[in-house]
Amino acid sequence: MTGRLGWAALATAAAVIPFFTSNTYYLYVVISVGLLTIVTAGLNVLVGFTGQTSLGHAGLYAFGAYTAALCVTRAGTSEWIAIAVAVVITSMVGAAVAAAALRVSGPYLAMVTIAFGLIVEGVVIEWGSVTGGPGGIFNIPKPGLRTHYWTVMLAAALALWLTANLRRSAWGRACLAVKSSEVAAESLGLSAYYVRIAAFTVSAAFAGAAGALFTFLNGYISPDSFTLQTSILFLLALLFGGLGRIAGPVAGSVALTILPELLTRLLDYRLILYGSLLLLSIYWLPDGVVGAVSRARRSRPAPLELSLSPLGRGQGEGAGTLLVANGVNLSFGGVAALAGVALTVNRHHIHAVIGPNGAGKTSLLNVLSGFYALQAGTIMVDGRSIDGLSPYAIARHGIARTFQTAQVFGGLSVRDNVAVGVAGPRLGSPLSALFATPGGRARDAFIQSRALDLLEAFGLGELAHEPAESLAAGLRRKLEIARALATEPLLLMLDEPAAGLSPAEIAALDAQLTGLRDQGGPTVILVEHHMDLVMAVSDRITVLDYGRVIAEGAPEEIRQNPAVIEAYLGATT
């Protein structure tokens, strides 16, 4: 509620300013704040939601500005068409840059974006016949300052509204999931690469729009406005305001536009000021001004009135085998982790994989789910080969998994964690997420209600709106299983789900697993050390030792098997 009041106050302030002052200087400053807000709102989608850093957004900003300027001066279009063209072109450029840049991450990504920005700057200066060279483009027809004020304010409001919508949608959750744990996101069928490209493209569109509006502010543009320093300023404003917060861009833009204006006398010290501000905000305000001021507001539960056709798949046809793996080999630098492992798992079975530490159990799961590339052998699931597929593609074949150390998505609520699983790769159109179309909202309500149902079934309903990172270890495991089941998998692979659980929790897990099987749930591969649990729930057991299968059979047979006893207890008799 306080949040709404804050937004209303902000909107009112922006709306009344022109009536109180005729001083064009103030209007100019507020317009600059608006432009910076638009760029940083877009950057927030990329950096704040998705966790990728760009130091080249000045290049995209330049693309928007020059496209708009050329449309008006050369093609003689109207301002509005010029802005639209600028947004479209910049988005396309952004998508292309992203496709190349996002194959890498960390400092490599920073380099690609820096390089992009410098290339744009260089081309703009060099290609004088089109861009006017170092002097830039003059005499661009521009609207009156007051008119432009309204345009920019509305655009900034639109930008914030769009990012708020995006944050609440399946796309927003997917972005945060990828940022928090790429591995877990891929295990739910999300392609991290694809999600990041989408985020980069959205942020490019915002930068393009702001660039175009910048063109019509001054009536001239020159390369000086689009340097690496500009890119750093964008990032600084976002960081200072609050990464990942919807209001962050506003706070950061206001601070970074107005501060230098107040301190014009200290021009010589401006860089020191910027640098210190940047350092201080990273030190003490990891969530920015907005994060420091506001307690995280809890999101309201979504309305549950709609039901769409189910998103899920069935459990495939009938009985028989679901997974057949043969001759699976995996070695790390000459050390064989898996040597010719064969595994056949029947439908609707709980199939345990056990073995001493280092036997290759987790490696086997990682191969089956695509996180380690298969070096030799074949894997068929539901009659289809999954050799060489990436983790998200395998997940889309209906294979879900959990991890030895539970990988919940921090930064998302418990419900949103499960919602990422429910949606899986079905994110819908990014545009419908941005504009919160009725169809998009209906989808989302459906996804959320599904997520809540699952949480109820797992006894996590009460915690639905808690941040996932606040859960204790046992609950994290539960949440992870719920999230994996949310994808409606054919095969669920659990990596030591009982590790660190209390005896009571293990009993509950036992009941849950058998319950799942009896209700015709997914086939389960269970990697586990707790022999009581394994013996109680498993239909079949495969025993690994030193990367080889040493026994396979029903629990009773395994218990008696001399090779297994030897592997566990050492050569005794």
Strand pairing report for 335-346 and 321-332 = antiparallel
Minimum distance, C-beta of residue 336 to another protein, in the bound complex (Å): 17
Whether the Cβ atoms of residue 465 and residue 414 lie closer than 8 Å to each other: yes
Minimum distance, C-beta of residue 505 to another protein, in the bound complex (Å): 24
Q: For residue 71, which of 287, 261, 258, 216 has the smallest C-alpha distance?
A: 216
Taking the least distance from each CB to another protein, the nearer of 134 and 439 is: 134
Taking the least distance from each CB to another protein, the nearer of 165 and 362 is: 362
Whether the Cβ atoms of residue 175 and residue 430 lie closer than 8 Å to each other: no
Whether the Cβ atoms of residue 64 and residue 211 lie closer than 8 Å to each other: yes
Taking the least distance from each CB to another protein, the nearer of 122 and 503 is: 122
In degrees, rounded to 5, the angle at the alpha carbon of residue 298 between the alpha carbons of residues 45 and 500 is 90
Minimum distance, C-beta of residue 99 to another protein, in the bound complex (Å): 9
Taking the least distance from each CB to another protein, the nearer of 51 and 467 is: 51
Q: Which helix (H) or strand (E) holds 339?
A: strand 335-346
Minimum distance, C-beta of residue 230 to another protein, in the bound complex (Å): 13
**CA dist 544 → 325, 338, 438 (Å):** 14, 9, 52
Minimum distance, C-beta of residue 451 to another protein, in the bound complex (Å): 25
- The 10 Å Cβ neighbour count of residue 419 is 27
CA distance linking residue 349 with residue 322, whole number of Å: 9
Residue 265, φ and ψ in degrees, nearest 5: -70, -25
Taking the least distance from each CB to another protein, the nearer of 20 and 283 is: 283
Sign of CA dihedral 135, 137, 143, 149: negative
Question: What residues have CB less than 8 Å from 358, skipping those under 6 apart?
Answer: 546
Taking the least distance from each CB to another protein, the nearer of 115 and 442 is: 115
Taking the least distance from each CB to another protein, the nearer of 237 and 322 is: 237
Minimum distance, C-beta of residue 104 to another protein, in the bound complex (Å): 5
Minimum distance, C-beta of residue 521 to another protein, in the bound complex (Å): 25
Q: Is 493 left (phi over 0), alpha (psi -120 to 50) or beta?
A: beta
CA distance linking residue 565 with residue 514, whole number of Å: 26
Taking the least distance from each CB to another protein, the nearer of 118 and 259 is: 118
Whether the Cβ atoms of residue 52 and residue 200 lie closer than 8 Å to each other: yes
Question: What residues have CB less than 8 Å from 435, skipping those under 6 apart?
Answer: 162, 165
Minimum distance, C-beta of residue 567 to another protein, in the bound complex (Å): 24
Taking the least distance from each CB to another protein, the nearer of 3 and 122 is: 122
Q: For residue 451, which of 412, 505, 497 has the smallest C-alpha distance?
A: 412
Minimum distance, C-beta of residue 264 to another protein, in the bound complex (Å): 16
CA distance linking residue 220 with residue 215, whole number of Å: 6
Q: For residue 41, which of 160, 153, 167, 197 has the smallest C-alpha distance?
A: 160
Minimum distance, C-beta of residue 316 to another protein, in the bound complex (Å): 26
Taking the least distance from each CB to another protein, the nearer of 107 and 334 is: 107
Report the SS3 class of residue 352: strand
Q: Which positions touch another protein (CB under 8 A)?
A: 47, 51, 53, 100-101, 103-104, 107-108, 110-112, 114-116, 118-119, 122-123, 125-126, 183, 228, 232, 235-236, 239, 268-272, 274-276, 278-279, 282-283, 286, 362, 366, 371-372, 403
Question: By CB neighbour count within 10 A (0-12 exposed, 13-18 middle, 19+ buried), where does 472 fall?
Answer: exposed
Minimum distance, C-beta of residue 111 to another protein, in the bound complex (Å): 5
Taking the least distance from each CB to another protein, the nearer of 144 and 333 is: 333
Minimum distance, C-beta of residue 122 to another protein, in the bound complex (Å): 4
- The 10 Å Cβ neighbour count of residue 407 is 19
**CA dist 383 → 188, 194, 315, 323 (Å):** 21, 27, 13, 8
Q: What is the DSSP letter of 430?
A: H
Report the SS3 class of residue 565: helix
Taking the least distance from each CB to another protein, the nearer of 331 and 561 is: 331
Whether the Cβ atoms of residue 425 and residue 396 lie closer than 8 Å to each other: yes
CA distance linking residue 181 with residue 391, whole number of Å: 13
Taking the least distance from each CB to another protein, the nearer of 28 and 274 is: 274
> Would you state the structure tokens that stand for residue 156, as one six-digit string?
């900034």
Q: What is the DSSP letter of 411?
A: T
Q: For residue 190, which of 383, 343, 407, 17 has the smallest C-alpha distance?
A: 407
Minimum distance, C-beta of residue 447 to another protein, in the bound complex (Å): 27
Taking the least distance from each CB to another protein, the nearer of 42 and 316 is: 42
Minimum distance, C-beta of residue 155 to another protein, in the bound complex (Å): 27
